[in-house]
C-alpha cells in the first residue's frame, strides 16, 4: 500500500505539475477513488483544487478542467470553453500534461535504482562461477543440455550474471555456449522455446545444481526423529534417485499430486510414509578420488501432513560467494539508468507471452503485487519492488488504450499530425470503451489471484 500510494501520488503529481505550469485548473487531486463518498477532503483558501483521499484503493486521479477523463463529466464539456481549461490549450501543452505522469514514474524508477546501487551496491552470482553447473529437465536435455553444464554465453556473447536475464537469453538465442567437463560446447536452440514455459515447467528447465545436503535440521520434526543431521546428503526417496534439491522437490511434488486424491487418513499416511536413502558423505567428498565412500543408509519416516521433512536446504549461497560491486554517487547515476532500462526492456519483451493461454493465467492483480514484497520489512527489497512497479505503471499507462494516458497521447498525436481534433462525442465513446477494457483486465487479473489462492491455478 505504501509503494502504490507513493507511485500514484507522484504519477498524478506529474499531471498536476504540467497543468499548473500551463495555467490549467485542477479541480480535484485524489489518492484512491471516491465513488459516492470520500474519507477526507481539503480545499485551501483561494485554491481551485480540492485535495482528498478516496476509499477505493485502485489508484488515484487528477481531475483536470475541460478534459474528458474517467470522471465522465460531460456537463462541463457542454459549457463554453474557458481559457483555464485543458481543451483551450495548444496540443503540445496538452501532450506534456498527459505524459507528465508517465515521465515522473519512469524518472522515479531510474532515480530509485541509482540510489539503491549507491546505498547497497549490486550483488549477483557470476554465471561462470557456478562450477557445479545446472540441473536440466527432459525438455532441456532433448535440446542438447546435460546436467552440470555451465551456461556461459549465447550467440557468441558472454553472460555475466546468473539472473532471470540468463533465461531470457537462452529462450531467445539461436545458440547457447556451455562449459562441459572443462570443454566449450555450443548447443543449437529451437525457434519455439518459451521463457514462460521454461520458468513454469516442473521440474524447471534449468536451475543451478545444488546437492541435496541438509543445511540444518529443525527440532521435533520427522528428520530429527529419524536421526538425520546437518551435512547429510539425500540419495533417493521411494526408490527414485535424488542428486539435487531440484530432484527432491520434484519428487515431493509428485507425492503432493497423489495426496489430492487420497480419500482416507490411511491413504494419506501411506503416501506420507517414505523410504529415504542418505549418506553422511558430502557432495564434495563424493567427487574426491581419495575419499572413503561410506555405505548409504536407508530409513523410513513419516512426513508432516504438508509433506515437510523438517530441514533447511542448502542453496547456491552455501557453495558460492556472490560478486559485490560498490558505487560512488556519480557512478550510481549511469549504473541506475542502465539497470532500469534493462528492467524495462525485459518487462516489455516478456509481454509477448500475455497473448498465450499460459500467459493470461500468469496475469495477477493486487495479490500478485503483494507477493512481490518480502514477508518481513526490508528497505532494500521495498525500494527495488517500488522501482519495478513504477516502471510497470509508466509502461502500462503509455499503452494506446483509451482511458489511459497513452490513449489521450494517441489522439493528441493524431491532432498534431492531421491538425484535426477528434470530436468530443468520439472521445467520450472511446473513454467508455477503454474504461471497459481496463475493468475487464482488472477482473481477470484479480480473479487469477483468487483462483491461485484457492489452489485451482
DSSP 354: G
280, 214 contact by CB (below 8 A): no
Find residue 293's DSSP bridge partners: none
- C-alpha span between 243 and 252 (Å, rounded): 14
What is the residue-level pLDDT of the chain in tens, covering all 457 positions? 889 899 999 999 999 999 999 999 999 999 888 888 889 889 998 888 999 998 888 778 888 988 876 655 666 667 788 899 988 999 999 999 999 999 999 999 999 999 999 999 999 999 999 999 999 999 999 999 999 999 999 999 999 999 989 999 999 999 999 999 999 999 999 988 888 888 878 788 999 999 999 999 999 999 999 999 999 999 999 999 998 998 899 899 999 999 888 888 898 999 999 999 999 888 888 776 555 556 788 999 999 999 999 999 999 999 999 999 999 999 999 999 999 999 998 888 777 766 666 656 666 666 667 777 878 889 999 999 999 999 988 998 898 888 788 888 998 998 899 988 888 778 778 877 877 887 787 777 777 777 767 766 5
- Name the phi and psi angles at 419, rounded to 5: 60, 25
30, 38 contact by CB (below 8 A): yes
3-class DSSP state of 408: helix
Q: In what order do the strands lie in the sheet with 323-325?
A: 161-162, 122-126, 323-325
DSSP string, 35-97: EEEEEEEE--TT-S-EEEEEEEEEEEEEEETT---TT--HHHHHSPP-TTSGGGS-HHHHHHH
Cis peptide before 414 (omega within 30 of 0): no
Cis peptide before 203 (omega within 30 of 0): yes
Q: In what order do the strands lie in the sheet with 297-302?
A: 240-241, 233-237, 273-279, 297-302
For the chain, state the CA radius of gyration. Answer: 28
Output the pTM of the full model: 0.80
366, 446 contact by CB (below 8 A): yes
Q: Burial level of 255, CB count in 10 A (0-12/13-18/19+)?
A: middle
Grid coordinates given for 19? 497543468
- C-alpha span between 79 and 75 (Å, rounded): 7
Amino acid at each position: 500500500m505504501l509503494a502504490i500510494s507513493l507511485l500514484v501520488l507522484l504519477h498524478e503529481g506529474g499531471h498536476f505539475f504540467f497543468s499548473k505550469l500551463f495555467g490549467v485548473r485542477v479541480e480535484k487531486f485524489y489518492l484512491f477513488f471516491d465513488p459516492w463518498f470520500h474519507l477526507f477532503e481539503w480545499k485551501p483558501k483561494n485554491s481551485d483544487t480540492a485535495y482528498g483521499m478516496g476509499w477505493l484503493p485502485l489508484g488515484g486521479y487528477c481531475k483536470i478542467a475541460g478534459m474528458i477523463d474517467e470522471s465522465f463529466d460531460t456537463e462541463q464539456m457542454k459549457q463554453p470553453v474557458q481559457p483555464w481549461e485543458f481543451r483551450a490549450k495548444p496540443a503540445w501543452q496538452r501532450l506534456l500534461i498527459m505524459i507528465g505522469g508517465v515521465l515522473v514514474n519512469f524518472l522515479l524508477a531510474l532515480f530509485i535504482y541509482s540510489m539503491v546501487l549507491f546505498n547497497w551496491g549490486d550483488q549477483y552470482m557470476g554465471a561462470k562461477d557456478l562450477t557445479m553447473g545446472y540441473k536440466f529437465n527432459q525438455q532441456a536435455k532433448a535440446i542438447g543440455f546435460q546436467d552440470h553444464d555451465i551456461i556461459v554465453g549465447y550467440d557468441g556473447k558472454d553472460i555475466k550474471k546468473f539472473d532471470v536475464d540468463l533465461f531470457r537469453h537462452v529462450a531467445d538465442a539461436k545458440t547457447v555456449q556451455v562449459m562441459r567437463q572443462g570443454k566449450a560446447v555450443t548447443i543449437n536452440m529451437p525457434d519455439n522455446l518459451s521463457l514462460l514455459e521454461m520458468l513454469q515447467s516442473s521440474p524447471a528447465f534449468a536451475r543451478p545444481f545444488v546437492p541435496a545436503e541438509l543445511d540444518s535440521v529443525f527440532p521435533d520434526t520427522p528428520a530429527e526423529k529419524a536421526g538425520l543431521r546437518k551435512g547429510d546428503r539425500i540419495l533417493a526417496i521411494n526408490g527414485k534417485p535424488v542428486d539435487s534439491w531440484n530432484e527432491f522437490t520434484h519428487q515431493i511434488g509428485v507425492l503432493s499430486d497423489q495426496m489430492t486424491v487420497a480419500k482416507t487418513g490411511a491413504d494419506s499416511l501411506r503416501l506420507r510414509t517414505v523410504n529415504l536413502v542418505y549418506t553422511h558423505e558430502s557432495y564434495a567428498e563424493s567427487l574426491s578420488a581419495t575419499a572413503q565412500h561410506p555405505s548409504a543408509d536407508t530409513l523410513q519416516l513419516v512426513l508432516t501432513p504438508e509433506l515437510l521433512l523438517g530441514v533447511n536446504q542448502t542453496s547456491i549461497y552455501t557453495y558460492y560467494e556472490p560478486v559485490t560491486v560498490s558505487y560512488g554517487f556519480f557512478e550510481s547515476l549511469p549504473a541506475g539508468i542502465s539497470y532500469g532500462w534493462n528492467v524495462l526492456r525485459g518487462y516489455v519483451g516478456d509481454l509477448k507471452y500475455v497473448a498465450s493461454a499460459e500467459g493470461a493465467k500468469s496475469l495477477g492483480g493486487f495479490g500478485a503485487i503483494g507477493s512481490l514484497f518480502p514477508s518481513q520489512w526490508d528497505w532494500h527489497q521495498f525500494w527495488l519492488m517500488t522501482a519495478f512497479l513504477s516502471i510497470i505503471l509508466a509502461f502500462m499507462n503509455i499503452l494506446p488504450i483509451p482511458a489511459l494516458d497513452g490513449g489521450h497521447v494517441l489522439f493528441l498525436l493524431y491532432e498534431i499530425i492531421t491538425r484535426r481534433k477528434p470530436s468530443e462525442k468520439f472521445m467520450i465513446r472511446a473513454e467508455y470503451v477503454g474504461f471497459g477494457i481496463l475493468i475487464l483486465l482488472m477482473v481477470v487479473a484479480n480473479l487469477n489471484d483468487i483462483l491461485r489462492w484457492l489452489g485451482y491455478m
